[in-house]
Amino acid sequence: MIDHIEELIKRYPALAVCEKDIRKSYGLLEESYAHGGKLLIAGNGGSCADSDHICGELLKSFIKKRTPEQSFLDELAKIDPDTGSYLADKLQGALPAISLCNQTALMTASLNDVDGNVMFAQQVNGYGVKGDVFLGISTSGNSKDVVYAMVVAKAKGLK
């Protein structure tokens, strides 16, 4: 199997100083996915767009085609052979990931009724379970809404 992280470092040598952290992050995600977990992602502005993009790449195939599990494809065929066949041909295997940046009603309700700084924390509280992974993206490291979500994630046992 190709070591994709090794290939990444060869392509972008400046990342060599981060290799240990990249491998650790990969390991956390791999373990979470192996046990039925998911990735929750949040960020502000451009980091919000990054959250959405990362989720998009995980929820469908990216470089390597991911085929859905055969048991799922069999269920589709049992429900409706024609539609099941079509879906089996079109659907791609997904790695569960949720961008917390898209819950407009909840976010505006938090802004109006509570405190906008808890909008991501509230979602981590609702979606997150022990064994999931939370990725908070903040270019400054000081985004209160992202920091609060990290605190909630840690309290709930997310990595």
Fold classification of 28-59+95-159 is: Rossmann fold (3.40.50)
Rounded to 5 degrees, φ, ψ at 90 are -100, -35
CB 36, CB 95: distance < 8 Å: no
Q: What is the pLDDT of residues 23-47, one digit of tens each?
A: 999 999 999 999 999 999 999 999 9
Q: Where are the domains of the chain?
A: 28-59+95-159, 65-93
Which helix (H) or strand (E) element contains residue 42?
Answer: strand 39-43
pLDDT score of 62: 80
Please identify every stretch of the chain with a pLDDT value under 50, giving residue numbers as ranges.
Answer: 1
